[in-house]
Amino acid sequence: MDFTNDEWFVVKDIDGLTESSRALVFNNFGSKKEENTEVDLLDMKIDEKDRDELNSILSFDESKIIITTMLKKQKNKKTSNIRYMLNDSLFMEIIVSLNDRMVSNILNGLVNKGMVETAYDAETNDFVFWISDEYKQKEKPETD
């Protein structure tokens, strides 16, 4: 897929775009696919068995907010109606943003469960994460 196309498209169904985008991100999370490969359109639908997990780590409402703030808005001068526009590169930015949010939500869930600890590292100007000692002690290796 060529993501350098400058052609703009009118988004007529923001809810549909939201649902398809978050399903695409969820289905391809951790995928080993090479960069810039063709995207399988089946990846834009979510299996019912995965719906609860998707909703818990990347909610529809959260995704829709991200998408609507990123879409280009055009206002009709006569009617003041707003339409949303999208091109290939903006779509890729949306997918990356949704993926980043999903990773953040997963990490937050692990921290809240006490499985992972986090701290801010001023030297790297970023957060660092590690498996909590308490969780390590709960997980005992199997023995013969």
- What are 95-133's pLDDT values in tens digits? 999 999 999 999 999 999 989 998 999 999 998 988 888
Distance CA 40, CA 25 (A): 12
pLDDT recorded at residue 127: 87
Distance CA 119, CA 130 (A): 9
Q: What is the band of 139 on the pLDDT scale with cuts at 50, 70, 90?
A: low
Residues 94, 66 contacting (CB under 8 angstroms): yes
Mean pLDDT for the chain?
86
- What are 40-56's pLDDT values in tens digits? 555 678 888 889 999 99
Residue 35 has phi, psi (to 5 degrees) of -60, 150
Structure tokens at 33: 């696919």
